[in-house]
């Protein structure tokens, strides 16, 4: 090791932050309001409370509290897997022969295998506290569903997961883990909801999509007493809970006397990047020093780099509120060959607004081949087999480190390693067998998706 910075920097359990950070309190321009799809008026806590439990409805609309205390029960659960380590990528730096320092915050060291557990336990907790019977959700790759199943298992809450059928069929082990935590996993589209039954009329919809699964989960929650809906990304409440990643990262970097020049996160719905950047974005928004922020998305699902900043639904079934965000249209589905995750058609309204206003500095897209190539390298030199999602950030961190090699700059690069790739081995296999098509969506297919946007309301 080159100097006194350890390979892994841990905070103590007592240093786990006592509050989450709510970036909206510091944003100069708040994101445009979420709209109730029935009235096309800004949603109220009352509107949202039929979908989310009340405390979360309040968090969703909270623009004033910079810090939201983390209940003790949640902090106790966090101790099972937090503080997560901040890792100095010594081995990667060495093979890259870069003067840059590369750090990553590793969120995969829990059974769900990703950062999603940070918000799952919060959403389950508030549901339990409200005396609910259970929660519903959708899951694609299964990371969020597993996290929610764990959280519900812990609080003895009923957990109803709508899983995109093609994912469920490809990942029986993910289903089995959720079931081990007593979750009830339904393949979507299903005949348990009106939205599902409608989709099933056309056999072309059989494989399912995240958008349809969301619609099903929302419908079930709204129509069944004692249930509420939960979501693993996109929403403001999720970014609040995920802020723990960035808060811990900043504290850990202070311990080793560093501040990042660049912060890089993969971005699907925005939960990881929004979380990782939190404490540093607070610095930016309050006029202190700030890193350069980069969002990385798949070339197959390029909401920020090729989408439009517009009001759109968050789901195919149009049952969710409309959000102003970077979107490819709520009907957009990445090409079937896409195996790299991050398949949501839109982007967190907060991140969208920050990007629109220039606080989130840059969005990039990378191809599948690029991510699986660096994933293999990373696994070999740093030991951890990354989730394809995380590999988007690895790819960009490597690119930035190689730029430093050219310029001689000793930049401090921080990226989010959101999870492990254990359940993505079929995607890894397809990469090895040269079976991943990397043709990006055509301009026509992007235009077709955007043609689906609703009439733009004046908010």
Chain residues binding a second copy by CB under 8 A are 1, 6-8, 10, 12-13, 76-77, 79-81, 91, 109-111, 113, 150, 153-154, 172-173, 176-177, 179-182, 376, 379-385, 420, 422-423, 425-426, 428-429, 432
Compare residues 72 and 225 and give the one whose CB is closer to a second copy: 72
Compare residues 5 and 25 and give the one whose CB is closer to a second copy: 5
Residues 333 and 335: their CA atoms lie apart, in Å, by 7
Q: How far is the CB of 377 from a second copy (least distance, A)?
A: 10
Residues 6+ apart with CB under 8 A from 333: 209, 211, 343, 345
Give alpha helix (H) positions in 337-417: 349-356, 368-382, 388-407
Token pair of 173 as six digits: 């082990």
Compare residues 155 and 292 and give the one whose CB is closer to a second copy: 155
Is 356 buried (19+), middle (13-18) or exposed (0-12) by CB count in 10 A? Answer: middle
| Beta strand pairing call for 262-266 and 292-298 | parallel
3-state secondary structure of 368: helix
Q: How far is the CB of 181 from a second copy (least distance, A)?
A: 6
Compare residues 109 and 331 and give the one whose CB is closer to a second copy: 109
Q: How far is the CB of 144 from a second copy (least distance, A)?
A: 16
Q: How far is the CB of 373 from a second copy (least distance, A)?
A: 11
Give alpha helix (H) positions in 297-387: 303-306, 349-356, 368-382
Q: 95-109: string of b/e by CB count within 10 Å (b at 16+)?
A: ebebebbbbbbbbbe
Q: How far is the CB of 384 from a second copy (least distance, A)?
A: 5
Residues 143 and 127: their CA atoms lie apart, in Å, by 20
CB atoms within 10 A of CB 4: 7
Q: How far is the CB of 380 from a second copy (least distance, A)?
A: 4
Compare residues 197 and 380 and give the one whose CB is closer to a second copy: 380
3-state secondary structure of 1: coil
Compare residues 12 and 64 and give the one whose CB is closer to a second copy: 12
Residues 6+ apart with CB under 8 A from 140: 163, 164, 167, 210, 213, 341, 343
Compare residues 25 and 95 and give the one whose CB is closer to a second copy: 95
243 in Cβ contact with 271 (< 8 Å): no
Q: How far is the CB of 38 from a second copy (least distance, A)?
A: 39
Residues 339 and 325: their CA atoms lie apart, in Å, by 24
Compare residues 315 and 382 and give the one whose CB is closer to a second copy: 382
Q: How far is the CB of 92 from a second copy (least distance, A)?
A: 11
Helix axis angle for 236-255 and 349-356, nearest 10°, is 70
Compare residues 21 and 428 and give the one whose CB is closer to a second copy: 428
Give whole-number Cα distances, 41 to 141, 215, 323, 327, 457, in Å. 33, 20, 11, 20, 9
Q: How far is the CB of 223 from a second copy (least distance, A)?
A: 28
């Amino acid at each position: 090791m080159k100097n006194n910075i350890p390979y892994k920097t841990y905070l103590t359990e007592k240093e786990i932050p006592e509050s989450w950070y709510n970036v909206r309190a510091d944003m100069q321009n708040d994101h445009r309001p979420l709209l109730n799809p029935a009235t096309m008026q800004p949603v109220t806590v009352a509107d949202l409370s039929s979908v989310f439990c009340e405390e979360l409805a309040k968090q969703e609309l909270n623009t004033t509290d910079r810090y939201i205390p983390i209940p003790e029960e949640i902090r106790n659960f966090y101790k099972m897997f937090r503080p997560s380590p901040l890792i100095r990528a010594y081995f990667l730096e060495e093979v890259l022969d870069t003067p840059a320092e590369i750090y990553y915050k590793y969120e995969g060291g829990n059974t769900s295998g990703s950062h999603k557990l940070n918000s799952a336990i919060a959403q389950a907790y508030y549901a339990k506290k409200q005396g609910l019977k259970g929660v519903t959700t959708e899951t694609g790759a299964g990371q969020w569903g597993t996290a929610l199943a764990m959280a519900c298992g812990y609080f003895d809450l009923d957990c109803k997961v709508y899983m995109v059928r093609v994912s469920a069929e490809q990942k029986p082990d993910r289903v089995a883990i959720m079931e081990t935590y007593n979750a009830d996993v339904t393949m979507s589209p299903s005949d348990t909801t009106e939205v599902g039954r409608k989709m099933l009329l056309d056999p072309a919809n059989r494989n399912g999509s995240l958008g349809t699964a969301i619609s099903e989960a929302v419908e079930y929650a709204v129509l069944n007493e004692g249930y509420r809906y939960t979501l693993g990304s996109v929403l403001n409440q999720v970014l609040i809970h995920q802020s723990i990643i960035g808060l811990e990262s900043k504290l850990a970097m202070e311990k080793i006397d560093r501040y990042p020049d660049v912060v890089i996160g993969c971005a699907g719905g925005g939960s990881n990047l929004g979380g990782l950047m939190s404490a540093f974005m607070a610095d930016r928004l309050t006029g202190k020093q700030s890193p350069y922020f980069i969002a990385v998305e798949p070339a197959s699902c390029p909401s920020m780099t090729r989408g439009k900043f517009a009001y759109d639904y968050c789901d195919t079934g149009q049952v969710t509120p409309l959000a102003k965000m970077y979107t490819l249209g709520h009907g957009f589905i990445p090409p079937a060959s896409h195996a790299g995750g991050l398949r949501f058609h839109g982007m967190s309204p907060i991140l969208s607004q920050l990007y629109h206003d220039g606080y989130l500095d840059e969005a990039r897209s990378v191809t599948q081949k690029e991510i699986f190539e660096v994933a293999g390298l990373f696994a070999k030199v740093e030991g951890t087999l990354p989730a394809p999602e995380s590999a988007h950030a690895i790819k960009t961190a490597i690119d930035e480190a190689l730029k430093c090699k050219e310029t001689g700059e000793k930049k401090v690069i921080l990226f989010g390693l959101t999870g492990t790739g254990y359940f993505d081995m079929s995607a890894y296999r397809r990469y090895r067998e040269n079976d991943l098509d990397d043709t990006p969506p055509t301009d026509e297919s992007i235009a077709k998706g955007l043609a689906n946007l609703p009439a733009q309301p004046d908010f």
